[in-house]
């Protein structure tokens, strides 16, 4: 029996049920174990609450204390520092990595009038929005997907920014007004990917979840997470990174902005797939040499 810990939010339940169903198809028995995290209980902006680990630390503690055997995370929420005794054992096929512009009145980000109110809980999205449209009012937005959409429908905002992946997984693709291409808004590290975390010595569960692993996506998120880790900025910072594999090489795009979205540093790199982690880390050093460290410090 694999005890799968899950948060009780809408999207987290989808993730847990997806993993449970796939594992059951391979003949494994799975028991869902509900767990509340700080991110599910505490109110306020992610930055005020401490950001990193809000949605993951309690699940990781459950693994360490042998309460559960498996945790399924939205990989963009999982801090990049290693946790004693735990391992990221599988990353399945990735969903759409793009951010979604959602509005009931306007067909695109470009159509928003000056001073329009846009909701997002992400500093990365906020900084990129300010870079693209410094005239907009960027307002904080928290809650599960339904809550955020309801606030939009109540006309608290002219538009909101969500992840395409979450809307597609919840069968809400019809709410995507415009999928923002990566040259407009570069995605968060790990966006659209799920991370299956286990105890590092739990060989039975590791073997089970290995059947769900996609090696190419694992290589891509390895580069992305190494990039973010090397910035030492945390997963709530105005840092974006995305990797793909093409022609047997990994191609990486990295972006660091200041909080106000007035300055940014963008850079690309490519190299062998087996050097994914090195590529991510080296790109940060190159960006720091070009002044990106000051953007984060500011």
Helix (H, G, I), strand (E, B) or coil at 67: coil
Q: Which two tokens stand for residue 289?
A: 């040499």
Report CA Rg, the chain. Answer: 19
Q: Give the active site residue among 52, 77, 99, 202.
A: 77
First to last CA, the chain: 49
Closest by Cα among 198, 265, 237, 257 to 28: 198
To the query of whether residue 77 is one of the catalytic residues in this protein, the response is yes
Phi/psi at 73 (5° precision): -110, 150
Residues in the chain: 298
Find out whether 104 and 89 touch, Cβ atoms under 8 Å.
no
CA 258 – CA 239 distance, rounded (Å): 9
* Burial annotation 138-168 (CB, 10 A radius, 16+ → b, else e): bbebbebbeebbebbeeeebbbbbbbbbbbb
Crossing angle for the helix pair 215-231 and 276-289, nearest 10 degrees? 30
**3-state class (DSSP) for residue 138:** strand
3-state secondary structure of 42: coil
Nearest to 97, CA basis, from 200, 156, 185: 185
Tokens of 116: 């329009």
Active-site residue list: 77
């Amino acid at each position: 029996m694999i005890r799968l810990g899950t948060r009780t939010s809408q999207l987290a339940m989808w993730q847990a049920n997806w993993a449970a169903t796939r594992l059951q198809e391979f003949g494994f028995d799975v028991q869902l174990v509900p767990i509340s995290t700080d991110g599910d209980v505490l109110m306020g902006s992610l930055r005020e609450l401490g950001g990193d680990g809000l949605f993951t630390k309690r699940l990781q503690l459950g693994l360490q204390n042998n309460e559960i055997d498996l945790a399924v995370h939205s990989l963009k929420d999982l801090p990049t520092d290693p946790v004693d005794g735990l391992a990221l054992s599988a990353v399945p096929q990735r969903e759409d990595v793009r951010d979604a512009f959602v509005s009931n009145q306007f067909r695109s980000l470009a159509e928003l009038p000056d001073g329009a109110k846009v909701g997002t809980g992400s500093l990365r999205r906020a900084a990129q929005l300010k870079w693209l449209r410094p005239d907009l009012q960027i307002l904080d937005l928290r809650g599960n997907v339904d809550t955020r959409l309801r606030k939009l429908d109540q006309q608290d905002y002219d538009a909101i920014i969500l992840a395409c992946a979450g809307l597609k997984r919840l069968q809400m693709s019809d709410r995507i007004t415009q999928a923002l291409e990566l040259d407009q808004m570069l995605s968060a590290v790990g966006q659209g990917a799920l991370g299956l975390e286990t105890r590092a010595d739990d060989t039975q569960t590791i073997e089970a979840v290995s059947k769900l692993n996609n090696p190419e996506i694992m290589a891509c998120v390895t580069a992305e997470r190494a990039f973010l880790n090397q910035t030492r900025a945390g997963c709530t910072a105005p840092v974006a990174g995305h990797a793909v594999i093409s022609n047997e090489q990994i191609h990486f795009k990295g972006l660091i902005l200041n909080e106000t979205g007035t300055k940014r540093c963008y850079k690309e790199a490519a190299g062998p797939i087996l050097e994914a982690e090195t590529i991510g880390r080296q790109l940060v050093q190159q960006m720091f040499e070009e002044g990106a460290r000051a953007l984060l410090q500011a």
